């Protein structure tokens, strides 16, 4: 079991490394980092000088190898814009994004799963159709637009919530909703399908034949089985959320790593962008790995051989 987990972690890190390689190539081939560093009104000689000074004239593979070697030791380079280690810059902002991500995750899970259970208990009734309709509507809504609508409605018209920044807990409510809503339809549908399937299964019939009441049948027997793939999906969705959080951070001026990533792209601050891409890739693979392990843990058929 330990060997299995170890192999999976190794594979996951390899994938993250491959991602960093690809992003490195893409970023350095799309633009000219030397020109960006030198500035907009630098002369060609100044650009060449910068290129030599920072070793940007070496072959890309060599540059990457150097970056990767340092990265594995924890050194993610320095940001030319901030003139500080990338690690520090990211470290100062990642907390905010994590809070936003967790809140969005909680919102998605505590809305999507109960909706799915209710829909499964009353299939083809108005409740079910309402849930499915909301799910279809949610998937068509662009996230930045939804965020702006929330701002207008709750922030301006009702004046209930602050519309930008990240100082207090209230600042996270709307951004969390704007980030989390997109995961609700898939979680709801998976819960609903899973519950419908489980509720029609033989062991539920056995439970009822034993005289168990509706609630224990629902929670102890049905949900326990149906929830297994949903939990796994939820963590994968969390990985996606972090990857797409930057739009929400920009709309709500929440200064997390997503906001930082967008600004750094605009400033051609490649070391920061490269580091954030690596970070997101690592989080994503760890989330999928965690989802797999959780799956195995929750399902005795996988756990106990």
Partner 1 sequence: MTALLDVKGLSVDIPLSAGILHAVRNISFSVERGQTLSLVGESGCGKSLSVLAVMNLLPKKATWRAEQLLFDGRDLTSVNERNMADIRGSKMAMIFQEPMTSLNPCYTIGNQLEEAMLRHQKVPRREARDRAVFLLEKVGITAAGSRLKQYPHQLSGGLRQRVMIAMGLMCGPPLIIADEPTTALDVTIQAQILSLMASLQKEFDMGMILITHDLGIVARVADRVAVMYCGLVVETGEAITLFENPLHPYTQGLLNSIPIPGKTKPGEHLGSIPGMVPSPIGEQSGCVFRNRCDYAFDKCGGQLVDLKEISPGRAYRCLLSPEVCAQNLTGSQAS
Partner 2 sequence: MNTESLSPFKDITFPTPGQMIRRQMLRHKGFMLGGIVLLLIVLIALLAPVLAPHDPYGQDLSRRLINPIWHEDGTWEHPLGTDNLGRDYLSRLMYGARISLLIGVAAMLISGVIGTTMGVCAGYFGGRVDTVVSAVISIRLALPILLVALAIVALVGGSLEIVILVLGLMIWNRFALVMRASTQQLRSVDYVSAAKASGCSTFRILLTEVLPNILNNLIVVGTLEITRAILIEAMLSFLGLGVQPPLPSWGLMVSEAKEFMLFSPWMITIPGMAIFILVLSINLLGDGIRDVTAPEGRS
Residues in contact with partner 1 by the rule CB under 8 A: 201-203, 205-213, 221, 224-225, 298-301, 304
Identity of the residue, 148 or 294, whose beta carbon is nearer to partner 2 in the bound complex: 148
**How far are the Cα atoms of 89, 128, 166, 226, 244 from residue 100, in angstroms, in the given order?**
18, 30, 9, 28, 12
Binding mask 31-50 for partner 2 (x = CB under 8 A): x-------------------
Helices 224-251, 270-298: axis angle to 10 degrees equals 170
With beta carbons less than 8 A apart as the criterion, state whether 289 and 9 touch.
Answer: yes
204: exposed, middle or buried (Cβ count in 10 Å: 0-12, 13-18, 19+): middle
Q: Which stretch binds partner 2 (CB under 8 A): 22-30, 55-63, 80-88, 105-113?
A: 22-30
Q: How far is the CB of 202 from partner 1 (least distance, A)?
A: 4
Per CB under 8 A, does 144 bind partner 2? Answer: yes
Q: Which of 100, 288, 118, 106 is nearest to 188 (CA)?
A: 118
Per CB under 8 A, does 107 bind partner 2? Answer: no
Q: Which does 281 bind (CB under 5 to 8 A by kind): partner 1, partner 2, none?
A: partner 2
Q: How far is the CB of 195 from partner 1 (least distance, A)?
A: 14
CA distance 259 to 216: 46
Per CB under 8 A, does 140 bind partner 2? Answer: yes
Q: Which of 293, 274, 287, 273 is nearest to 241 (CA)?
A: 287
Residue with tokens 């519950």: 195
Per CB under 8 A, does 198 bind partner 2? Answer: no
Q: CB neighbours (10 Å) of residue 138?
A: 18
Q: Which of residues 253-282 bind partner 2 (CB under 8 A)?
A: 261-262, 265-266, 268, 273, 276-277, 280-281
Per CB under 8 A, does 60 bind partner 2? Answer: no
Identity of the residue, 27 or 98, whose beta carbon is nearer to partner 2 in the bound complex: 27
């Amino acid at each position: 079991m330990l060997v299995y987990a170890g192999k999976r972690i190794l594979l996951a890190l390899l994938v993250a490394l491959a991602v960093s390689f690809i992003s490195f190539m893409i970023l350095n081939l799309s633009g000219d980092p030397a020109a960006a560093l030198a500035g907009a009104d630098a002369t060609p000689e100044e650009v060449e000088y910068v290129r030599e000074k920072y070793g940007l004239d070496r072959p890309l593979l060599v540059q990457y190898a150097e970056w990767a070697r340092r990265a594995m030791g924890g050194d993610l380079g320095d940001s030319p814009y901030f003139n500080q280690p990338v690690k520090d810059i990211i470290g100062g902002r990642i907390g905010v994004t994590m809070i936003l991500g967790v809140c969005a995750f909680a919102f998605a899970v505590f809305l999507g799963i109960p909706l799915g259970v209710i829909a499964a208990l009353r299939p083809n009734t108005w409740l079910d159709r309402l849930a499915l309709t909301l799910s279809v509507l949610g998937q068509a809504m662009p996230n930045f637009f939804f965020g702006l609508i929330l701002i207008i409605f709750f922030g301006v018209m009702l004046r209930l919530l602050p519309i930008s920044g990240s100082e207090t807990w209230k600042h996270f409510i709307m951004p969390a909703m704007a980030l989390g809503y997109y995961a609700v339809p898939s979680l709801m549908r998976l819960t609903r399908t899973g519950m419908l399937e489980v509720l029609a299964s033989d062991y539920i019939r056995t439970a009822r034949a034993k005289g168990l009441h509706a609630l224990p049948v629902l929670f102890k027997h049905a949900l326990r089985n149906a929830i297994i793939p949903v939990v796994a999906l939820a963590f994968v969705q969390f990985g996606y959320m972090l990857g797409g959080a930057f739009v929400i951070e920009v709309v709500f001026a929440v200064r997390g790593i997503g906001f930082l990533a967008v600004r750094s792209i605009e400033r051609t601050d490649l070391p920061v962008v490269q580091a954030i891409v690596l970070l997101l890739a690592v989080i994503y693979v760890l989330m999928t790995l965690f989802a797999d392990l959780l799956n195995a843990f929750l399902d005795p058929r996988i756990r106990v051989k």
